[in-house]
């Protein structure tokens, strides 16, 4: 073939060569040797990528093997990881555009979208990565963390990765695009794996009611108004029972003591294991950061902790726990250089067992733990330095566990409603024959109920001072005590230890008062205050341990304030019982008739229901907190 001289009309040569099982890695060189032979008379030239003669080498094969993964943590926060694998290094991926879309109607909707997602399904858009972490083969994976919380449902990540070899301005959807399109479908499932929720307690209520009526009817008939009262009492117990924890293996609760742990430190922090007591020792509180390996929230927590520590000084301890499935010390080497030993950097167990017991779960978050070991505040992701300072100040004052919360047992929660059906008067209150101080009747009810409340709250307050690290076992003892009281009430119609207190106090009262307010009435006021204390435990498990115990352990000032605040709790409990007693007398003779008909039956059924509540809580403790403490 005759070739024309000149570069205007060069002759194109196409050469193909195949090589099998050739692996190229970053830094490897591809060499190309061109040899030209011809028999022309004149001199020949080889033009390589000259003007109007585009030339190049096309390499075909599995050159790019990027990896994309999406996970969601316990809070529904999505974590996207992209590992840019290329023989030319990660810089071959010039930019990226990522969208989270969902919930989807079905998996068939999970495909690349050539237009902008609809507003109702577009969750979040990402471009610049939030951080990176080391993965296998010493590669770096780019990480994005969503701000939005994903609810249960089907989702997809729709991504376009711009390559340096392509045109940055070229649309990913164009036919000639050299960019990479990736669609990753994933599903967010419900975190609730409970065996039984509190709603199932209605079975215990019905079983207790039917069982009691069956046993009682063997000894004689019961008036129908009494049966109606017992039915209403049983179903009203469902209101406080709705606060029972769900039965779940490994269960935890936010309003409780922080779990005990002993974790290894990263070698940059020290070689010894550290536990919760070690971190709290000599400090007023602990600020504990939890982050998953490679999360950008680790550095955000450090910035917030640094700013907060400058304001709080050495009275508050700081620490961080790195968690996640299979987290290793080498995963934290990069972050440890940033941390530079500012505070302990702990490594969670291989399956995130410690973080899973915390309110954050296996996710990024910050927990404030007070000096007694109870959880005061939590935040997902990180917590600003201002919020940390405010949370610490709050923990030193009882973590907002106010005595005024007791009034919510009446309205709007109606948790104290069962006590109304135990408060109907049995007789008309007569005018005392001997003169008594004004308000003696009302004040006597308040004080008697307050004493009943103190019979429960005082031991709790004392135990919380010293037993925060063993709180699941303290709760077990308390529930055993409640079960005993329920059994005593069901069999004997009274609680012996409370009756003992009532007897000794009543006989020491002024004779004019004790002759007017007889022992049965005084004992019932005291018992109502005691039952109110147990109901407050269901609604506010940390009201006394944190509001009294943590306050006393925080400072010398707190030790003086704690007894006064405890007295305030008892007085408010007495006022609430007084309100309940007053409501129970509104119907006059009808109230007294109901009280007479139910004076023996209602307390006994109440005892059966309390045994059911105690049994539920004991099972939850054995499946959750106690099991976690003993076996993790």
Give the 3-state DSSP-derived string for 158-194, with helices as H, strands as E and coil as C: EEEEEECCCCCCCCCCCCCCCCEEEEEEEEECCCCCC
Count CA within 13 A, CB hemisphere, residue 68: 16
Using DSSP, state whether 79 is helix, strand or coil: strand
554 lies in a domain? yes
One DSSP character per residue, 479-524 reads: HHHHHHHHHHHHHHSS-HHHHHHHHHHHTTS-HHHHHHS-HHHHHH
254 lies in a domain? no
377 phi and psi angles, rounded to 5 deg: -145, 155
CA distance 603 to 594: 13
Do residue 412 and residue 509 come from a single domain?
Answer: yes
pLDDT score of 176 more than 70: no
CA distance 441 to 325: 63
pLDDT score of 194 more than 70: no
- Percent of the chain's residues with pLDDT above 70: 93
**Which residues pair with residue 69 across a beta bridge?**
81
Q: Any idea what the Cα angle at residue 524 is, between residues 514 and 609, rounded to 5°?
A: 165
Query: pLDDT, tens digit, for every residue of 309-337?
Result: 999 888 899 999 998 877 888 878 888 88
Query: pLDDT, tens digit, for every residue of 530-569?
Result: 999 999 998 898 899 888 888 888 778 878 888 999 999 9
Please return the burial class of 436, using the count of CB atoms within 10 Å of its CB with bins 0-12, 13-18 and 19+.
middle
Which of 396, 412, 436 is where one domain is finished? 396
Q: Which domain CATH number covers 375?
A: 3.40.30.10
The pLDDT score that the predictor gives to residue 169 is 67
Do residue 422 and residue 555 come from a single domain?
Answer: yes
Angle separating helix axes 440-466 and 556-584, nearest 10 degrees: 140
Total number of residues shown for the chain: 632
567 lies in a domain? yes
CA distance 632 to 627: 8
CA distance 387 to 306: 13
277 lies in a domain? yes
CA distance 511 to 515: 6
57 lies in a domain? no
- Count CB-CB contacts under 10 A for residue 79: 20
Do residue 408 and residue 390 come from a single domain?
Answer: no
Tokens matching residue 32: 């190309």
Do residue 309 and residue 325 come from a single domain?
Answer: yes
The pLDDT score that the predictor gives to residue 9 is 64
Nearest residue to 229 (alpha-carbon basis) of 597, 609, 520: 597
The pLDDT score that the predictor gives to residue 447 is 93
Do residue 300 and residue 389 come from a single domain?
Answer: yes
| For residues 292-302, average pLDDT | 86
Count CA within 13 A, CB hemisphere, residue 22: 13
Q: Any idea what the Cα angle at residue 526 is, between residues 522 and 528, rounded to 5°?
A: 115
Do residue 361 and residue 467 come from a single domain?
Answer: no
> Contact at 8 Å (CB) between 386 and 303?
no
CA distance 63 to 87: 7
Residue 208 to residues 235, 326, 610, 619, Cα–Cα distance (Å): 11, 47, 10, 18
Angle separating helix axes 601-623 and 519-539, nearest 10 degrees: 30
CA distance 305 to 385: 6
Query: pLDDT, tens digit, for every residue of 355-384?
Result: 888 888 888 899 999 888 888 888 888 899
Which of 396, 423, 443 is where one domain is finished? 396
CA distance 361 to 356: 4
Tokens matching residue 29: 């060189």
Q: Which domain CATH number covers 136?
A: 2.60.40
Do residue 365 and residue 418 come from a single domain?
Answer: no
527 lies in a domain? yes
21 lies in a domain? no
How many domains would you assign to the chain?
3
Residue 432 to residues 18, 437, 502, Cα–Cα distance (Å): 112, 11, 21
pTM: 0.77
Do residue 387 and residue 411 come from a single domain?
Answer: no
Do residue 357 and residue 436 come from a single domain?
Answer: no
Do residue 357 and residue 411 come from a single domain?
Answer: no
Which of 167, 188, 209 is where one domain is finished? 188
Q: What is the CA radius of gyration of the chain?
A: 36
pLDDT score of 192 more than 70: no
Query: pLDDT, tens digit, for every residue of 394-418?
Result: 888 877 788 888 999 988 889 999 9
Element (H, E) at 609: helix 601-623
Range in 17-26, 377-386, 623-632 with the lowest mean pLDDT: 17-26
Is the previous residue joined to 546 through a cis bond, with omega within 30 degrees of 0? no
Please, what's the b/e burial string for 272-293 (b: 16 or more CB within 10 A of its CB; e: otherwise)? Answer: eebebeebbeebbbbbbbbbbb
CA distance 173 to 160: 9
Do residue 443 and residue 377 come from a single domain?
Answer: no
Quickly list H helices, 409-495.
417-420, 440-466, 471-492
257 lies in a domain? no
> Contact at 8 Å (CB) between 267 and 216?
no
> Contact at 8 Å (CB) between 277 and 468?
no
CA distance 481 to 460: 12
Query: pLDDT, tens digit, for every residue of 123-132?
Result: 999 988 887 7
pLDDT score of 469 more than 80: no
**Which residues pair with residue 78 across a beta bridge?**
72
Query: pLDDT, tens digit, for every residue of 589-617?
Result: 888 888 888 888 889 999 999 999 999 99
14 phi and psi angles, rounded to 5 deg: -115, 125
CA distance 208 to 490: 11
The widest CA-to-CA distance across the chain, in whole angstroms, is 144
Do residue 332 and residue 233 come from a single domain?
Answer: no
Tokens matching residue 624: 């959750």
Structural domain boundaries, residue 114: 67-188
Q: Name the DSSP class of 545.
A: I
């Amino acid at each position: 073939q005759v070739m024309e001289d000149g570069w205007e009309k060069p002759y194109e040569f196409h050469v193909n060569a195949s090589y099998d099982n050739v692996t190229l890695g970053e830094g490897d060189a591809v060499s190309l040797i061109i040899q030209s032979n011809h028999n022309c008379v004149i001199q020949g030239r080889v033009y390589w990528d000259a003007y109007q003669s585009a030339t190049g080498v096309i390499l075909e094969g599995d050159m790019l093997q990027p990896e994309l993964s999406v996970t969601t943590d316990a809070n529904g926060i999505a974590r996207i990881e992209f590992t840019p694998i290329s023989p030319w290094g990660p810089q071959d991926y010039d930019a990226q555009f990522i969208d989270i879309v969902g919930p989807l109607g079905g998996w068939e909707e999970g495909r690349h979208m050539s237009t902008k997602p609809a507003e109702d399904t577009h969750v979040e858009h990402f471009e610049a990565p939030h951080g990176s972490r080391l993965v296998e083969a010493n590669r770096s994976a780019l990480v994005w963390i969503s701000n939005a919380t994903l609810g249960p449902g089907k989702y997809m990540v729709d991504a376009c990765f711009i390559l340096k070899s392509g045109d940055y301005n070229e649309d990913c959807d164009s036919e000639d695009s050299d960019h990479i399109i990736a669609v990753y479908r994933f599903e967010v499932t419900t975190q609730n794996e409970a065996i039984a929720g509190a709603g199932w307690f209605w079975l215990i209520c019905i079983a207790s009611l039917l069982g009691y009526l069956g046993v009682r009817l063997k000894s004689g008939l019961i008036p129908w108004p009494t049966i109606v009262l017992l039915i209403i009492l049983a179903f009203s117990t469902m209101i406080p029972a709705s606060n029972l924890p769900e039965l779940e293996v490994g269960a935890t609760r936010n309003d409780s003591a922080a779990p005990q742990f002993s974790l290894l430190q990263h070698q940059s922090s020290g070689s010894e294991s550290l536990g919760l007591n070690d971190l709290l020792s000599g400090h007023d509180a602990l600020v504990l950061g939890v982050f998953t390996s490679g999360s950008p929230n680790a550095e955000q927590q450090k910035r917030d902790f640094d700013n907060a520590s400058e304001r709080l000084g050495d009275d508050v301890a700081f620490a961080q726990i790195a968690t996640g499935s299979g987290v290793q010390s080498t995963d934290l080497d990069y972050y440890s250089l940033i941390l530079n030993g500012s505070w302990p950097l702990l490594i969670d167990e291989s399956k995130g067992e410690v973080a899973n017991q915390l309110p954050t779960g296996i996710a990024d978050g910050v927990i404030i733990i007070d000096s007694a070991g109870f959880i005061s505040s939590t935040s997902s992701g990180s917590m600003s330095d201002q919020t940390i300072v405010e949370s610490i100040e709050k923990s030193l004052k009882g973590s907002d566990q106010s005595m005024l919360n007791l009034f919510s047992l009446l309205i709007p929660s109606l948790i104290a409603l069962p006590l109304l059906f135990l408060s109907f008067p049995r007789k008309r209150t007569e005018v005392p024959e001997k003169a008594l101080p004004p308000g003696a009747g009302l004040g006597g009810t308040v004080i008697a109920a307050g004493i009943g409340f103190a019979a429960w709250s005082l031991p709790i307050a004392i135990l919380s001072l010293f037993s925060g690290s063993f709180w699941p076992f303290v709760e077990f003892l308390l529930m055993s005590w409640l079960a005993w009281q329920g059994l005593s009430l069901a069999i004997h119609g009274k609680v012996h230890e409370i009756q003992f207190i009532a007897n000794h106090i009543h006989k020491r009262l002024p004779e004019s008062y004790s002759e007017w307010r007889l022992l049965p009435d005084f004992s019932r006021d005291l018992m109502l205050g005691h039952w109110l204390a147990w109901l407050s435990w269901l609604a506010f498990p940390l009201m006394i341990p944190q509001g009294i115990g943590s306050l006393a352990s925080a400072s010398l000032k707190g030790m003086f304030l704690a007894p006064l605040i405890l007295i305030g709790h008892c007085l408010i409990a007495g006022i609430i019982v007084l309100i309940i007693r007053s409501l129970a007398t509104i119907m006059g003779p009808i109230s007294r008739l109901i009280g007479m008909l139910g004076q023996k039956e209602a307390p006994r059924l109440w005892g059966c229901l309390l045994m059911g509540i105690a049994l539920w809580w004991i099972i939850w403790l054995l499946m959750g907190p106690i099991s976690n403490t003993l076996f993790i």
